[in-house]
Amino acid sequence: MAPVRRFLNEPSELVREWTRSQIHLQPGLNIDEKFLVLYRDNAAHSGRVTVVSGGGSGHEPAHAGYLGEGMLDAAVIGALFASPNVRQIQRALELVSSPQGTVVVVKNYTGDKLNFALATERFKATTGKDVRMVLVNDDVAVGRSRGKFVGRRGLAGTVLVQKVVGAAAHHGLDIDNIVNLCNVISQGLGTIGASLEPCHVPGQLVVDGAKFSGIALGMGIHNEPAVKNLVATTTTRDLIAEMLDLLLDPAKPEHAFLSPEVGKRNGRLILMLNNLGGLSTIELGALTSIVLSQLEEKYSIVPCRVYAGTFLSALDGRGFSITVLSLDHSETASTILDLLDKPTTANGWASSIPSSQWKALSSASPSQNFLASQTLSNDRLFAQIIQSIFKEVTAREPMITRYDTILGDGDCGTTLLAGAKALADALQTGKLSLSSLSQGMATVAEIVTDAMGGTSGAIYGIFLSALAAGLAQAYDQDVGMNGRYFALALNQALDVLEKFTGARVGDRTLMDALIPFITVFDKASQEEDLVKSLELAVHQSAIGCENTRYLDSKYGRSTYVGNQSAGETNESDPIQIPDPGACGIVAVLTGLLRAVQYP
């Protein structure tokens, strides 16, 4: 079989050019091309512990992508899927040597472990410097029996260790405290991966696809065989359930490496979804959502930090891994969270928004959270308005559809009816909140947008969403819900809508009915009561709709229809047809008016 087509097929060239690119992608990096070491200027490391990491290439952005203020000081670049040699590692230690010591973060693979250990011991023996090597072994796929002698492999959890160690060093923690943090992390760190296909190493023949017809659970990041092969028909949700069981189920003695307490709701858990290289961004995001749902539903866990992206890849591996880091409520746990949140200039790190910030947003006061600003005193009227609009739109839909069949694609009436029906159904099933006017209007906007779709759905959605915001911002508890309150909100919603469409009165669109309604209501509400203001405004809206019979179309599909005679009742009496969208607005407003007139 032929190799996979690539722009660069020579592995050594690929690694060399990748390494060179980094000094252009991140200012402040240096390169030792002889030993393939990327490092930050030693002057920046005076007075603190330094951090070194590295390994075989093919796992980008690891490890060069994590060089920067707040993470690594040097990265040692090995060949594809091969550990760097002892001399390379020694050179990295020389370049970032510090009197305060150096922490070396290493994935637990035999080649990495042996080469880094030997280099570390040689460097310590010749310089007397304090250098500590930290092994990361977060893989839970390999059971205790199989991994008895070599231990668990180091996977994507390595990146979390690098972030914590790097932030700790850059903020002045001494080497003993940093190593202690690593020990705490290792006790609560677990990763499990799954892949649909092996990765393809440049210059090598494609691996026989017949061997990977299913889903490889626990496949290594260098194409090591899977621990378990699942049938191809296994659903993604079943796959994730099995992956989470391997991570969190204490009843699996071979794989239960984390504390049984990890499933407690009051525990702190950090979640990382890692792309092994071959997944799209949208697919990884969807997988993240499914993992989060299962964590909460089955284990009652809501992570306090969530990371998703390509952190430690396997070239173009068509898979992903799930990493969890379980922390308790100790002072050390708070320190680790704080260090994860610290900023870094490393271009491979994707930060997470702390859950405390989400909590602050969700617990905002009524003045901050506009959807909770006012209580609807007459929720029965709100329900009657929805029902009345549905009734009016249902009655006028055939006419609107007939008009639109002549002028457009014939879906204006049915689309509007779909929105009205969705609202009526939501009202009947209790999905439409009636406790707050602005909250209810926001829900109306969401339901209408989902049900209608297309251009009209977007226009209604924008206007109704802006109206919900306007209702909240215009609310004054001392004044209440009078005509002026609604006029202010309507004007604000119209201002927002006009930013997204250039259509105005005279352009033969629904704006010919909507704008006159708002204009007249605004003026009338200064002198008349609410019902009278609505009557005057709806009447003017109907006039605006009728006037569209004699206008040339400038927007939408009807633009392409001849303007001299859009339709005829008979051969001798041509009559222009009113704009279907404007007719729809009048139907909605008429339904609103009748509900208010006869509550």
Question: Is 194 a residue whose pLDDT tops 60?
Answer: yes
Q: What is the pLDDT of residues 518-536, one digit of tens each?
A: 999 999 999 999 999 999 9
Indicate the average pLDDT of the chain.
Answer: 86
pLDDT the model gives residue 357 = 64
Q: Which of 46-50, 258-262, 445-449 is the least confident region?
A: 258-262
Q: Band the pLDDT of 350: cuts 50, 70, 90.
A: confident
Question: Is 185 a residue whose pLDDT tops 70?
Answer: yes
CB 154 within 8 A of CB 109: yes
pLDDT the model gives residue 598 = 80
Q: Which of 171-180, 274-283, 363-372 is the least confident region?
A: 363-372
% of the chain surpassing 90 pLDDT: 63
Identify which has the larger pLDDT, 274 or 7.
274
Q: Band the pLDDT of 365: cuts 50, 70, 90.
A: very low
How many Å apart are CA 549 and CA 545, to the nearest integer? 8
The arithmetic mean of pLDDT across residues 269-290, rounded, is 96
pLDDT the model gives residue 1 = 54
Q: Which of 59, 63, 170, 222 is catalytic?
A: 222
Q: What is the pLDDT of residues 53-94, one digit of tens each?
A: 999 999 999 999 999 999 999 999 999 999 999 999 999 999
Q: Which of 216-225, 276-285, 385-394, 427-436 is the least confident region?
A: 427-436
The reply to whether 222 belongs to the active site is: yes
Question: Is 131 a residue whose pLDDT tops 80?
Answer: yes
Question: Is 572 a residue whose pLDDT tops 50?
Answer: no
pLDDT the model gives residue 325 = 95
DSSP count for the chain of H helices, then E strands: 17, 12
Tokens of 543: 């006039």
Question: Is 479 a residue whose pLDDT tops 70?
Answer: no
Question: Is 213 a residue whose pLDDT tops 90?
Answer: no
Q: What is the pLDDT of residues 367-380, one digit of tens each?
A: 333 333 445 455 78
Cα 403–chain centre separation? 42
How many Å apart are CA 51 and CA 72, to the nearest integer? 5
CB 485 within 8 A of CB 474: yes
Strand segments, DSSP code E, in 381-472 are: none
pLDDT the model gives residue 564 = 43
pLDDT the model gives residue 109 = 92
Contacts of 294 (CB under 8 A, 6+ apart): 237, 240, 241, 244
% of the chain surpassing 70 pLDDT: 86
The arithmetic mean of pLDDT across residues 401-406, rounded, is 88
Q: Band the pLDDT of 227: cuts 50, 70, 90.
A: confident
Q: Band the pLDDT of 3: cuts 50, 70, 90.
A: low
Write out the H or E segment, with its range, that includes residue 327: strand 319-327
Q: Please state, in angstroms and as integers, the Cα–Cα distance from residue 230 to each residue in 184, 294, 317, 331, 571, following that order.
A: 33, 19, 17, 41, 71
Question: Is 148 a residue whose pLDDT tops 90?
Answer: no
Question: What type of residue is 300?
Answer: S
The arithmetic mean of pLDDT across residues 566-583, rounded, is 63
Looking at the DSSP assignment, which residues form a beta bridge with residue 239? none
Question: Is 134 a residue whose pLDDT tops 60?
Answer: yes
CB 225 within 8 A of CB 215: no
Q: Which of 121-130, 375-384, 462-471 is the least confident region?
A: 375-384
The string of DSSP letters for 271-307 reads: EEEEE-BSS-HHHHHHHHHHHHHHHHHHH----SEEE
Question: Among 323, 311, 307, 325, which Cα is nearest to 270's?
Answer: 325
Q: Which of 220-224, 490-494, 581-585 is the least confident region?
A: 220-224
pLDDT the model gives residue 328 = 75
